[in-house]
Chain A
């Protein structure tokens, strides 16, 4: 095939990018080389629109062992233990083929984690669908949930937490973000940097097929009517092979024969070999006839661009091949020496004894395009004044019930019951709480993790929204008694070529950066997914934040269910009555304008750290952060989970009752304490200048505000649990 500008454009490259390739090579690339460039230079692999902005994120900290740039981030959890974690998107494939798209998303992120030598110990996910009324939503939801479960359950890794939302902006482009945490000894972490000359380059895992060719390019384009034609670009997962690959890799890693290891994810053999060479400042030579292939007559182009799953590339020490092969034979996996490291600093590929590609590594990596895209700054919307007559007729209990059955608030048990969340025997906090918690096997430590996003806030004002998501993640970890350590982010946005979408990206990243800097909660890994749009309509900006924290003694973990009748319930943090962009405003008042709640980083940090102090002093019986639906929704959920009621005191407040109960001001928690501890708790809160309200007392089975405003917890529970079950069974 003759390569020209049109062929390059068909590969998703821009005309000027093609000109740059010819200039760098000082000749016209052949088709294999063009394929390699298109895979390395697309948005998904090169981060060409985002790199400039991602550099500004804080990535360092005392507990950070490895920040962004490796397969995953690594943090120190003491005693020579470390946690490897990352979140990644698989949005485009999941919209085209929900089961396989979601399954391979989970498979891919687990590989990123065990590539670094860590055994995966927990999975999480953040999934976003279109309006429940949209004709595709139900099938997409079912397919994605089956896919996530199908892969994670088979791997024997518990899925411990997640987030699901519905919004019409995802009608034509759902989001599937998967996150994995792995456990590793600090001195046994593996990296992807190749080193040494003439070291054997080894291919292990599944055979290479024609699936997923150009997957990364597909993920870097928008959808149109023809998306069905893209089905063949979706990879097909085989969790069984991945389980074998995991065990075989960990067995090999127990020894000292691996110099570098890299999984074949997006852009397969191309990106894995180039990343290893680039990081090691070396060349790599590969004989493509040696690559184990599933199908006959695969061309060099297809072999290099295949995204077949469950494959790894390893640079071994010389002479260790036989010993390594034995391990992979035992697990019935392919093992082939396909090449070696060289000093050429080039990727040189041979096929049928002919050289089929010859590209300097730096042209693919350092010289890849980087754009300073135009972006538009968002204005802070004007505050709405709530009119008295709009809320006068509203009854608190009816409103609460409506909110509890709102698709974005209702119980997601239908989903997480399909995920094995107890395998490995260390899950001490299941899905449905503020964060999932797993013990570090055989120790007193536990790791808490949660994943959060607030697309509505980010859409209303990206800078504030970006900050808010990080704060919410921080709060969720603190609510279970964990000290937040670091985050991973999955940045889901529309087209970077659209100034507004690009502005949303830039300002959300800025917000994330400011909050993580202030809270000392650095970003250690992440992923950017652009072009989440169908035709011209982009999704609401949806940065998802995966947070990880440590509980030193798992017996001190906190859960959200109310524990004991007669205990006191307090609200930590001040309620100003911010209603704009709240679930109440959008769904009850049908008011979609206005700014999101303001984020005060000082209060976030101070309130959170003070709560941790209370927890350390064993003063907290249960805790829950206040988020969607405000105080009353948070309290109702604590009642439902604990099968207890609450008697809410008459409020001495200047703002309206409705505003007090449903406002979404930030930095707040609900806590339960023993009556006798009230003075101690109040002292600590006062000493740290943390505002608190006494909300009420726990009772047997009713949420009671006054004689006219009361409801049984059973009734609230039914509202909360029925929506999703009913929706999925219709």
Chain B
């Protein structure tokens, strides 16, 4: 399976994503934001970081960079595109997934482990994952997902919510919401479910010596689903 990770100026989880993808069998290529063409890929990843220093609005400038037109075309033709953290913020700015990401409710950067409940398994990202709940890691300042009432209705009608913040038993409650996201939303799909944006970093959970192994579960499953 071939993957591409886009490096924008200010990306800082691009290497970590490269390491994770390769560990689970992807042939990964790093792609520079100023390139016009995407290499042939089964999966395109927009990594975390602070593209363009988060200036103007998180993700907004990166969403206009040269490579993004190819990424948008790729997504519109059904290609798998995953945005993590700042990548999620870029995806919202392109309009590939609905909604916006506001500053965290308590106006502070949060770096910690969280639990997320998988809301929908009828997609190539989470199909065949045995667990209902994953322990992943978040590290962000602007992860407070927000959308209009109409959008929310549409999102829910189409089962576009991918994961919700919850406790270790999968209970979705306000007190397990780290950043104020509407409905505890941690990740969301486009209508066709080939595009996924999420705040948690699975690439930081791929080693027992690190924070845990649920990221490994995610990637192992992902590559099998793509085969």
Q: Which residues of A contact B (CB under 8 A)?
A: 146, 149-150, 153-156, 238-241, 243-244, 331-332, 416-428, 439, 554-555
CB distance from A283 to the nearest CB of B (A): 37
Alpha-carbon distance between A439 and B207 when the two chains are bound, in angstroms: 12
Q: Once the chains bind, are B50 and A417 in contact (CB under 8 Å)?
A: no
Q: A423-B16, A425-B210 are in contact. List 16 more A-B contacts (CB 8 A).
A: A153-B109, A153-B141, A154-B53, A156-B13, A156-B50, A239-B50, A240-B54, A243-B10, A243-B53, A244-B9, A418-B110, A419-B111, A421-B111, A422-B111, A423-B139, A425-B203
Q: Once the chains bind, are A417 and B203 in contact (CB under 8 Å)?
A: no
Q: Once the chains bind, are B53 and A423 in contact (CB under 8 Å)?
A: no
CB distance from B175 to the nearest CB of A (A): 14
By a CB distance below 8 angstroms, the chain A residues around B211 are: 422
Interface: B137 (CB within 8 A):
yes
Q: List 12 A-B contacts (CB under 8 A).
A: A150-B109, A154-B50, A156-B12, A156-B50, A240-B52, A240-B53, A241-B53, A418-B110, A422-B210, A423-B13, A423-B48, A423-B204
**Contact partner of A418 among B10, B20, B109, CB < 8 A?**
B109
Q: Once the chains bind, are B9 and A239 in contact (CB under 8 Å)?
A: no
Q: Once the chains bind, are B16 and A425 in contact (CB under 8 Å)?
A: yes
Query: With A154-B50, A423-B13, A423-B139 in contact, is A417–B110 under 8 Å at CB?
Result: yes
Q: Once the chains bind, are A243 and B111 in contact (CB under 8 Å)?
A: no
Q: Which of B1-58 contact A (CB under 8 A)?
A: 9-10, 12-13, 15-16, 19-20, 48-50, 52-55
Alpha-carbon distance between A244 and B52 when the two chains are bound, in angstroms: 10
CB distance from A423 to the nearest CB of B (A): 6
Q: Which residues of B contact A (CB under 8 A)?
A: 9-10, 12-13, 15-16, 19-20, 48-50, 52-55, 108-112, 137, 139, 141, 201, 203-204, 206-207, 209-211
Query: With A154-B53, A244-B10 in contact, is A425–B112 under 8 Å at CB?
Result: no
Q: Which residue of A lies closest to B113 (CB)?
A: A422
Q: Which residue of A lies closest to B53 (CB)?
A: A240
Q: Once the chains bind, are B12 and A423 in contact (CB under 8 Å)?
A: yes
CB distance from A287 to the nearest CB of B (A): 30
Alpha-carbon distance between A268 and B209 when the two chains are bound, in angstroms: 42
By a CB distance below 8 angstroms, the chain B residues around A146 are: 108-109
Query: With A239-B53, A240-B50 in contact, is A418–B108 under 8 Å at CB?
Result: yes
CB distance from B25 to the nearest CB of A (A): 18
By a CB distance below 8 angstroms, the chain B residues around A424 are: 15-16
Q: Once the chains bind, are B10 and A154 in contact (CB under 8 Å)?
A: yes
Q: Once the chains bind, are B10 and A420 in contact (CB under 8 Å)?
A: no
Query: With A244-B9, A425-B19 in contact, is A153–B139 under 8 Å at CB?
Result: yes
By a CB distance below 8 angstroms, the chain A residues around B207 are: 425
CB distance from A155 to the nearest CB of B (A): 7
Q: Which residue of A lies closest to B110 (CB)?
A: A417
Alpha-carbon distance between A156 and B211 when the two chains are bound, in angstroms: 17
Alpha-carbon distance between A425 and B206 when the two chains are bound, in angstroms: 9
By a CB distance below 8 angstroms, the chain B residues around A240 are: 9-10, 50, 52-55
By a CB distance below 8 angstroms, the chain B residues around A423 are: 12-13, 16, 48, 139, 204
Give the dominant DSSP class at B's interface: mixed
**Contact partner of A422 among B10, B108, B109, B139, CB < 8 A?**
B139
Q: Once the chains bind, are A331 and B9 in contact (CB under 8 Å)?
A: yes
Q: Which residue of A lies closest to B13 (CB)?
A: A423
Alpha-carbon distance between A43 and B158 when the two chains are bound, in angstroms: 66
By a CB distance below 8 angstroms, the chain A residues around B137 are: 422
Alpha-carbon distance between A217 and B207 when the two chains are bound, in angstroms: 48
CB distance from B158 to the nearest CB of A (A): 33
Q: Which residue of B lies closest to A153 (CB)?
A: B109
Q: Which residue of B lies closest to A442 (CB)?
A: B19
Q: Which residue of A lies closest to B206 (CB)?
A: A425
By a CB distance below 8 angstroms, the chain A residues around B55 are: 240
Alpha-carbon distance between A243 and B9 when the two chains are bound, in angstroms: 8
Alpha-carbon distance between A416 and B109 when the two chains are bound, in angstroms: 10
CB distance from A454 to the nearest CB of B (A): 28
Alpha-carbon distance between A240 and B210 when the two chains are bound, in angstroms: 27
By a CB distance below 8 angstroms, the chain A residues around B52 are: 240
Q: Once the chains bind, are B210 and A427 in contact (CB under 8 Å)?
A: yes
**Contact partner of B111 among A241, A420, A425, CB < 8 A?**
A420
By a CB distance below 8 angstroms, the chain B residues around A421 are: 111
Q: Which residue of B lies closest to A159 (CB)?
A: B111
By a CB distance below 8 angstroms, the chain B residues around A419 are: 109, 111
- Which of B12, B19, B137 is most buried by chain A, counting CB atoms within 10 A of its CB? B12
CB distance from A417 to the nearest CB of B (A): 6
CB distance from B88 to the nearest CB of A (A): 16
Query: With A156-B13, A418-B111, A420-B109 in contact, is A425–B54 under 8 Å at CB?
Result: no
By a CB distance below 8 angstroms, the chain B residues around A439 are: 209
- Which of A244, A416, A422, A428 is most buried by chain B, counting CB atoms within 10 A of its CB? A422
CB distance from B135 to the nearest CB of A (A): 13
Alpha-carbon distance between A154 and B53 when the two chains are bound, in angstroms: 7
CB distance from A600 to the nearest CB of B (A): 36
Alpha-carbon distance between A479 and B50 when the two chains are bound, in angstroms: 35
By a CB distance below 8 angstroms, the chain A residues around B109 are: 146, 149-150, 153, 418-420
- Which of A240, A331, A416 is most buried by chain B, counting CB atoms within 10 A of its CB? A240
CB distance from A138 to the nearest CB of B (A): 14
Alpha-carbon distance between A428 and B141 when the two chains are bound, in angstroms: 23
Alpha-carbon distance between A422 and B206 when the two chains are bound, in angstroms: 12
Query: With A240-B53, A422-B211, A423-B139 in contact, is A332–B9 under 8 Å at CB?
Result: yes
Alpha-carbon distance between A233 and B86 when the two chains are bound, in angstroms: 33
Alpha-carbon distance between A526 and B10 when the two chains are bound, in angstroms: 30
Q: Once the chains bind, are B209 and A554 in contact (CB under 8 Å)?
A: yes
CB distance from A10 to the nearest CB of B (A): 37
By a CB distance below 8 angstroms, the chain B residues around A244 are: 9-10
**Contact partner of B204 among A149, A417, A418, A425, CB < 8 A?**
A425
Alpha-carbon distance between A428 and B206 when the two chains are bound, in angstroms: 12
Q: Which residue of A lies closest to B141 (CB)?
A: A153
By a CB distance below 8 angstroms, the chain B residues around A243 are: 9-10, 12, 50, 53
Q: Once the chains bind, are B210 and A428 in contact (CB under 8 Å)?
A: yes
By a CB distance below 8 angstroms, the chain A residues around B9 are: 240, 243-244, 331-332
Alpha-carbon distance between A439 and B209 when the two chains are bound, in angstroms: 10
Q: Once the chains bind, are A238 and B53 in contact (CB under 8 Å)?
A: yes
CB distance from A164 to the nearest CB of B (A): 16
- Which of B19, B20, B139, B201 is most buried by chain A, counting CB atoms within 10 A of its CB? B139
Q: Which residue of B lies closest to A554 (CB)?
A: B209
CB distance from B142 to the nearest CB of A (A): 12
CB distance from A281 to the nearest CB of B (A): 39
Alpha-carbon distance between A153 and B110 when the two chains are bound, in angstroms: 11
By a CB distance below 8 angstroms, the chain B residues around A155 are: 12
